[in-house]
Amino acid sequence: MRVAVSQFATTSNVKENLATCIRMINETAACNPSLIVLPEFCNTLFCNVQPCYVDHNQAWNEALSINGYFLQRISEQAKKYDCYIVINVTLRQDLSLDPLNNKQCGAIKSNITLASCLFSPLGKLIHQVDKQILTAQESEFFISTDKVSETVTTSVGKLGVLTGSDDITFEASRRLALSGAQLLCHSMNSFALDQSSLHGPARACENKVFLASANKVGSLIPQEYMAQGKAPEHIPQDHIPQENLIGVGQSQIISPDGKVLAKIANNEEGYAFADIDLEECSINNKFRPDGTDLIKQRRPELYQDLAPPMNKSPDHECILENQNQNQNQNKNKTNKNKIPVTANVAIFATYKSNEQAIEDVCHYIENNLSDIIQLPELFFISDKIITNNTQQLTRIEYLSKQLINQVSSVLRPFQYVCTSLIVDKVHQAVLINENGIFATQQQLHFCKRYQWTALGDGINIIELPLEQGNINLAMLTADDANIAEIVNVAALNNIHLLLVPFDIQEPCEVEYSLLSRAAENRICIVAASREKSFANDLATDNANNNLHIQAKNKNKIKLQKSTGLIVNLTTDSSLLPQWKSRKFDGYINQPLVKHQYGKITKAVIHPIAACIKRF
């Protein structure tokens, strides 16, 4: 099928917006699509960080009736061009509550939802989804209903609908994917780049689904607000100036492995399209590169502790060290009660095997002062396939014991090494200190390369003493960090740091998945892998404005190297006064990344930054 995304600006004039929608559908129809996805708030103008309505009467007046002229015209376009159309609008739910008919004042909220509507090629409204989780600004004017997002079966395949910030966390996309969705249609209204550059691609590749996202362009606030120079209520004016409250566009179509198939790489009006095969991501065709079934790999019993969305979870209790603290406060508190502002971490990689690899790592440790040293999964074994051999497995377990003894003998106090080993015939992540094994974490999810190992029954939260204080961390190995739910469980247990000894299986793990885990859960991540090379048949930098890219262009094939990475969090001046608020650069919560390179990769992370939860 051919899917298209369209981006454009709207105003506070509903008639003008209808004309714009029809014009853009007409333009997009030139590529003969089977499906067109339009942006969020197609009938009105709205911004999530600054009021755009004078009062609730204005919100009602600009909202639509489900059987009204606006949506009738959209249904006619679907029928005219014989295609499906996804459009997002504000929708009146109860006409009896019309504030004008009832002479209500503008301070009384009416029943208006933010609804995504799917029209069929016959011009019929076949699916409607009301946004469930509203932002603070949306909650002022809109309500949520019980019309939750469900997968809808169409003649082209099974579709799911996302709205606004639904992709910032994993839940909505995962629920749709588990119910069989092959393509997620996402209507957006964003002035930030986080979703198009990170979260959207992460949702596609972690669920093995296609994603088509359409975003707004143009100012997201009325021109009269711009002229008056009013400051946003929820974000300081010096953080996101009004001139930056502009839809960033970047509408795109993403493949199940995270590759950009088509993209409008700017914030100008236009459309993009791509030909996709939804059979690639049917519910029975979701596999890891080693053949592991993604659906069967999940263990819902481990995720029972999942709480409501992160914006409703309690923040960490942070005790800050500050030279200006009142000397009379907490004089008797020890470092145990302090969360370090910084921690020194390092990734060590060796290109040797067996005893030589262990000696190589010990040499690194003796010559480095990093607090936490991360090694890849079974770092001394280059070919993990040999673990399926009983004799080789015995040999690896012997080397694991040798490694613990040698590494612990060269570690300093408050210094740690994390890797994965085979201990008692079980594959598990281990944290080693000067006294031996400090903590362990058994592998939690099945993967074919370690199909012989027993699996653990829960995640361990580790309180790690450092010289500057204590941090909470968790470890995940094998494919575990690829499972969004288990990382979320760890984050809800107030970890500051996630250590990941793994063996990268596909590039999207480090390009999107791990970065999204850090951003959406507000945790630092240190992940180490042996370097891998992958065939890359579609470079994302070729996704130009209004350019359709052929996904199977064999002339584009080249090798792409992938390694581990250190993911730090952006700092916040509310934590420490000496951290100045950064200027808005187009990103709200983009993590800071240092990719693993060569034998030693070092970085300073900020565990204290995990004390601020954004979502």
Is 310 contained in some domain?
A: no
State the pLDDT at residue 2. 98
| 414 pLDDT above the threshold of 90 | yes
Q: How far is CA 506 from CA 181, 497, 564, in A?
A: 22, 23, 12
Is 332 contained in some domain?
A: no
Do 355 and 272 fall into the same domain? no
Do 438 and 519 fall into the same domain? yes
- For the chain, state the CA radius of gyration: 26
Q: HSE-up of 73 (CA within 13 Å, CB side)?
A: 17
pLDDT band at 222 (very low <50, low <70, confident <90, very high): confident
State the pLDDT at residue 312. 31
Cβ count near 492 (within 10 Å):
17
Range of the domain at 268: 2-286
Do 351 and 264 fall into the same domain? no
| 313 pLDDT above the threshold of 60 | no
Q: Of 267, 286, 305, which one is at a domain's C-terminal end?
A: 286
Residue 356 backbone phi and psi in degrees, to 5: -65, -35
Do 476 and 577 fall into the same domain? yes
Q: What is the pLDDT of residues 56-89, one digit of tens each?
A: 999 999 999 999 999 999 999 999 999 999 999 9
Is 302 contained in some domain?
A: no
Higher pLDDT, 330 or 9: 9
Dist. CA 494–CA 472, nearest whole Å? 7
pLDDT band at 383 (very low <50, low <70, confident <90, very high): confident
Do 578 and 476 fall into the same domain? yes
Q: HSE-up of 160 (CA within 13 Å, CB side)?
A: 29
| 202 pLDDT above the threshold of 60 | yes
Dist. CA 265–CA 268, nearest whole Å? 9
Q: How far is CA 419 from CA 333, 377, 400, 437, 484, in A?
A: 33, 6, 10, 11, 21
Q: What is the pLDDT of residues 18-51, one digit of tens each?
A: 999 999 999 999 999 999 999 999 999 999 888 7
86: left (phi over 0), alpha (psi -120 to 50) or beta: beta
| 231 pLDDT above the threshold of 50 | no
State the pLDDT at residue 557. 57
Do 374 and 235 fall into the same domain? no
* Helix, strand and coil in the chain, % to nearest 5: 30, 25, 45
Burial letters 273-295, b for 16+ CB under 10 A, else e: bbbbebeebebeebebebebebe
How does DSSP classify residue 555?
G
C-alpha 7 chain-centroid distance = 22
Burial class (CB in 10 A: 0-12, 13-18, 19+), 239: middle
State the pLDDT at residue 537. 55
Query: Reduced to 3 states, what is the DSSP secondary structure of residue 171?
Result: helix
Is 375 contained in some domain?
A: yes
Is 295 contained in some domain?
A: no
Strands 426-433 and 436-442, how do they pair?
Answer: antiparallel
CATH number reported for the structural domain that contains residue 222 in this entry: 3.60.110.10
pTM for the predicted model, two decimal places: 0.88
Is 309 contained in some domain?
A: no
Dist. CA 177–CA 175, nearest whole Å? 6
- Helix 390-410 × helix 354-366 angle, to 10°: 20
How many structural domains does the chain have? 2
